[in-house]
Every structure is written in structure tokens, then in C-alpha cells.
Structure 1
Amino acid sequence: MKGSQEKNKFEMITYRNIQDLKAVGIRLKSSKTQSPRDMDFCEGWFAATLTLPEIVVDDTLAFTYLNLIAYEMCPDFKNDYVICSYVAFMESLIDHPEDVKELRSKRILLNCLGSDEEVAKLFNIIGTDLTTNIDTYYDVRCKINKHYSNRYKTWIAKGFENHFSSPWTIIAFSAASIALVLTLIQTLFTIHPACK
């Protein structure tokens, strides 16, 4: 039993950038805190929610994270590499300026640096070659991977994204459904009139 748990611990986990996660029904939500430990993944029937801590990106972010990373790499004490794991996780989610834009729209990221492209480059530079703790965010990464690999959930999420992305399409679908039901009821009453 223990051997299978160890085997599962080292299985390949690949999570994608935010645009790919959004396409398969994974939505973002702010944890309303700035603690790197406040990260969670909640799965629903067809959609899921990835909760991320808030982050302020300004001129000092690179220096702050690089200093914290250097401190964690120090062999003088035992640590769990929380900052390294957090930066590596965020770097894996942020590949393009569109990913930064999505984080900004959900109020997870406050961009005081400049363009979204600069923020994406910053995380890609800071997150290179970090020593991470495999246990940090392991459950979150497994849940993301499981949701991403579920074909049925991704098909339904893509269908909703493609066909029900605006309120007008939802209203039109509802109106068409109501018209179809009323037509069916009218046809039934025409074929089988009520007894007088």
C-alpha cells in the first residue's frame, strides 16, 4: 500500500497556464489574503474554482522574491521552500500577458509595474530553476490535473464557453426552450382536447 502511495507521489503532474485552465472550466477566485499558503481547488459538477492569494506586482517584487528565495536556499536551517514553490506555481500559470489580464480581472493580481507583458516576463525570469517542495500545493496540482484530464467535464466546459459565454446567448437559449415547450403543450392539447 505504501509503495503505491509513493508511486503516485512521483507521477507526472502537468498543469497549464491560466488560459488553458479557463478553457476547461477552471475559474479563478481571490482568497482575499496575501499568504502563499492560501491556495485551494474546489471542483463542482462541470466547472471548478482555483483560489489564489492576492499579489501586488510593483518595482520591489523581483527583489523581494529573489531575496526570499536566496534565504530559503540557505543550507543553515531546515525549511519547506514555500516561497520557491509559490513562485514556481505562479510561473507555471503565467505564460502570456492574457494570463496576467485574467488575474487582474479577478482581483488576484494588482499590476503596479506597467504592462501585462512585463509581469509575465518577470514571473518567467524569477521562476526559473527553483528548488521546490513536492508536497507544497501537491493536492492542488493533482486536483487540477484530474479535472483537466476528465474528458467529459472539459467537453461540457468548452461547450458552455463557446455557446453560452454571453448573457444574450443564455437568454436566447432560454426563450427558444420555453417556446419549444409551449409548442409541445399546444400540440398535445390539439391532439387530445380537454373533455368538456
Structure 2
Amino acid sequence: MAMKRSESEYVMVEMPSNIHDNNMIAMEWVDCLTGKEATERERHIQKVLPLLLKSEKGHRNRECYVPAVVSLGPYHHNRPDLAKAEKYKLTTLEEYRSGTGLTLDALYKKVFKVVHDARKCYDADGSTDAYNDEEFNRMMLHDGCFILFFIECVSCADNRLWLNNEYLGASGFANVVRDLLLLENQIPFVVLDVLMKLRFPDDKGENILNAFFNYLNYGDVIWTDKKVLKYTQQPLHLLELYRSNFISLSAAFAFRSSKASKMSSMVRTQSIEKETRDDYDYVQRSRSFDSVTQLKSRWIFLKCTSDKSRVDMKFKSYRWYGEFKLARRAVSSYTKAIYLNMIAYEMCPHNPNDYRVSTYLRMMKSLITQREDVRELRRNNIMLHSLGSDEEVAKMYDEIDVPAVNLYMFHHIRHEIEKLRPTKYKTWIAELITDYLGSPWKAAGILVGTAILCTSLVQTYIAINPRGR
């Protein structure tokens, strides 16, 4: 029998305290996606979302989120299989300490001044409760010195880099590079900042970071005067800092419908209404476009962006052809793990960002579907790789899952490409160039064959119509 509720009984629902800030939070996300600075908020070093690991590709990529040789921070601390690196950290601690000219006790006290700020950077799930301040500070000190010593050795071509081989084995170098940029293997940048200023005065620490990031991007240590610490607020960790310097995409064109929404509904044209619908049509705006070889058949040619360019991916349409400019990037054995962890960072909740890396990788997945696409990228100096074959590069991009993109960035590039309509004669000429004149040997073969054919025709004509008759 149903129970009758009396008038004095009420259903109580506890509402979140920040319910009135929802509009401001939503606008913060819009600002980030359209290329504006996010407001300063308290952020945490989070773990990989379980949802990213549930898909088929996510399950296969699980190992890409877990450190292989060294744990940094509390999430994977004291793992037995990473014990060798803990012994090696004592060596890097002493090497880095000697470079500062301070005693170990003085170094410890410098880091201890920020230990409470560092502890607050971790996700509020009790991950640091097992460590008192002394233990936590020791962890931060050891891990911070390990990171900065490794980065210094790579950037300065220091022979002490070979200590990795001594303690971690011949494969240690590539695995350390990989482990330094895992989402769950980060320490707060506030710790790195303290240690870096003790070792490198003025801007040398920033130059060291810049050279290391260039090594990751281009496969070579390049010293430039680019400012990597251009934040209005301090980066949360090394992965966030590298992500912000990895690629530069423009969102200035974003959200046409925001202008249209200010107009009266009585005067909106049908085209504006269609654009407004497209702004919210995820499938329409995020669908993929042609691959590299397909674009080439439409007279859309790839070109490497200049080093001075502020945007690393852009499309420019001319009267008869298009030019798709891409930044040069290196691909190595640890690239896949770094890409996946930058995506995982962008997918974290309570973390407004512009999804620039996810958008870039979705575009690259569209461009690269087979080995011929990789070969064309290499030929145009847009990609260099140290994997076994071009097929492995194509397979790597296929294995990367990109759950979300910045629709403003992605749709703009795809829309500009699709506006350049192919014509039959351009397609025929492009196919002739691609299929028959794509290499010097093919071109030479065509010329020789044409010469033989012409000679045969002339000889036949002379034989049929000899002179003097």
C-alpha cells in the first residue's frame, strides 16, 4: 500500500555551494576555447581518467600512462620495479647539488619553504597522506633534482648523460624522456622553479628548458631565445609547460554564431542560421578531411612553416591551388606516450584549456592514413622519424584516440580546405604529376619512353613516305 506523504515532509536536496558561479565557469571554458587567457584558479595534478582506458585503443595504450623506469611524485612512488631509479636519484641529487654550490641541508631547506604549496597541487584523494612533510619534501627534492639534471645534460650535451646507461641500462635514455612527461608522473613546477633558480641564474634555466623542448619537437637540441615561461600564472607542472609550447594554433576566427546571436531573430538570414546550427553540430564540425595524398590530388600542397611563424598550422587558398602549412615535428619511440599524456591532461575535469594538442593530433590523423602520406610529409621536411618504417608512423597515429577537439580550430581548417573545390583538369594534372612524375626515375622513364615512341613514329612515317618518290 502506498504511503501518503504529510504536508510537513519535504524532499531535501543539498545544492553545491558554487551553483551561482556556473555561468562564469561556462564562460571561462568559452574564453579558453576561443584563444583567451583562463582566469586563475586552483588546479591539481590529476590522474588519467578511467574513461580514456575503457575503449579498445585505450586498453591497448594503458602502458603509455605508466612510468617505465622512474617514478616522479607520489602516484607511483615506491614501486618495486622502479627501485633502480631511486638509487640513481641519489647520484643525480649530488651532481645537481654540487652545481648549486649549496650544502644538501641548505638545498633541503629551500625546497621545504614550498612543501605545503607543492602538497596542495595533488588531487584531493589522499595520495599524499602517507607522507609527512619531511618525507614528502625529500621526495620533491630527489625528484626535482633528477628532472633538472637530466634536462641539463640533454640540453648542454653533457657527458654525464651516460650515467643513465650505467644505472638504468642502454634503453634508459628514451624511457626517462618518456617518463618525464607522463600525466601521473609530475611534480609541481613550484619545486622545479626553486631548484632551477638556485642552479641557473638569470634566464639560463629558461634557455635550458627551451633547448630540451626543441629536442623533443625537432629531434635536435636547438638554442633559441624563445620564452617558454610566458605564463601569467606559473605552470602546474612540466607536462603543462611543454604542452603550451608544443604547438600554436589560432582560435581567433572562432564562434561566428556569437556575433549572429546578438542580432535580432527577425533579421537573421538563412545562411547565418545555418552557420549557427553548424557551430553546435559536433559531427558536422569535427568530421575528418582528406589525407595528404588526396589533398595533393586536389592541388593542395604541403609546406613547412617558418621558424618565425606564430601559428604552426594554417591553410592559405590561392586562385588555382591551396597551401597547407604545418610545423616540423619529430617522431620517435616515446612520441606516442607523450602525445597520449598531453591528450589525457587536456581531458581532465576542472581544467579549462584550448585542446590545442588534441586538435593538432586529430588533424594529423586525418592527414596520415598510409605510408605514402608519411613519405610526403618527410619529403616536405614536415616530419622526421626514427621508427623502423613509414608504416609504423601511420600505425602510431591510428592508435592514438582523440576524444575531443577544439571545434573552432578544427572546423576552420577543414572549412577552408573544403572551400577550394577541385576541378577535373586540375585533378588529372595532379594525378599525372603524382603517379608518373613523382620521382626523378619515374620522370626519366616517362621521357625515355616518350622519346622512343616519337622516334618509332618518325621512322614509321619515313618508311611509309620515303623522300624523292
Q: Is the 8 A contact 1:16 1:93 kept in 2?
A: yes
User: Which residues in structure 2 correspond to 1:88-167 (within 5 Å)?
Assistant: 88-126=362-400, 128-147=401-420, 150=421, 153-163=422-432, 166=437
TM-score, normalization: structure 2? 0.33
> Structure 1 residue 124: deviation in Å?
0.7
Question: 1:162/1:62 Cα in 2 relative to 1: closer, same or farther (>3 Å)?
Answer: closer
Distance 1:72 1:33, change over 3 A: farther
Cα distance change of structure 1 residues 162 and 125 upon mapping to structure 2, 3 Å threshold: closer
Q: Assess if the C-alpha contact under 8 Å between 1:36 and 1:82 holds in 2.
A: no
- Pair 1:164–1:109, CA change in 2 (3 A): closer
Partner residue in 1 for 2:50: none
Q: Give ranges in structure 2 of 5+ residues lacking alignment.
A: 1-267, 438-442, 451-469
**Which stretch shows the higher mean deviation, 28-37 or 42-51?**
28-37
Q: Cα distance, 1:130 vs. partner?
A: 2.0
- For the 8 Å contact 2:343–2:402, the answer to whether it is kept is no
Partner of 1:194: none
Q: Residue 27 of structure 1 corresponds to which residue in structure 2?
A: 301
1:135 alignment partner, SS class: helix
CA contact (8 A) 2:297 2:431 kept: no
Residue 276 of structure 2 corresponds to residue 3 of structure 1: no
Identical amino acids, percent of aligned pairs: 31
Q: Aligned AA for 2:363?
A: F
Give the distance between the partners of 1:44 and 1:159, measured in 2 at CA.
Answer: 19
Q: Is the Cα contact below 8 Å between 1:36 and 1:53 reproduced in 2?
A: no
With the length of structure 1 as denominator, give the TM-score of the two structures: 0.74
2:289 aligned with 1:51, yes or no?
A: no
Higher relative contact order structure (alpha carbons within 8 Å, sequence separation ≥ 6): 1
AA of the residue aligned to 1:146: K
Deviates more, 1:87-96 or 1:28-37: 28-37
Contact 1:104-1:110 at 8 Å conserved across structures? yes
- One-letter amino acid matched to 1:156: Y
2:276 & 2:415 partners in 1: Cα distance?
Answer: 14
Measured against aligned partners, the alpha-carbon deviations of 1:146-174 in whole angstroms (never above 9, x if no partner) come to: 22xx2xx432322322456647889x9xx
CA RMSD of aligned residues (A): 2.7
**Secondary structure of 2:408 counterpart:** coil
Partners of 1:102 and 1:36 in 2: CA distance = 24
1:118-165 deviation digits (Å, cap 9, x = unpaired) = 000000111x24211111132211011122xx2xx4323223224566
Change (3 A) 1:64 1:31: same
CA 1:75–1:41 in 2, change beyond 3 Å: closer, same or farther?
same
Q: In structure 2, what is the Cα distance between the partners aligned to 1:31 and 1:162?
A: 25
* 1:178 counterpart residue number: none
Amino acid at match of 1:6: T
| Amino acid of the structure 2 residue aligned with 1:7 | R
Name the residue aligned to 2:68: none
Q: Is the 8 Å Cα contact of residues 25 and 154 (structure 1) preserved in structure 2?
A: no
The answer for the alignment partner of 1:41 in structure 2 is: 315
Q: Say which is worse superposed, 29-38 or 131-140, in terms of deviation.
A: 29-38
The equivalent residue for 2:359 is 85
User: Is the 2:361–2:402 Cα contact (8 Å) retained in structure 1?
Assistant: no
Spell out, residue by residue over 1:36-61, the C-alpha distance to the aligned partner (whole angstroms, 9 max, x if none): 94211111222111111111001121
- For the Cα contact (< 8 Å) 1:41–1:51, is it kept in 2? yes
Does structure 1 conserve the Cα–Cα contact (< 8 Å) formed by 2:288 and 2:366? no
More strand by share: 1
Q: Quick one: which of 47, 61, 66 aligns to 2:335?
A: 61
Which amino acid letter does the alignment assign opposite residue 73 of structure 1? M
2:169 counterpart residue number: none
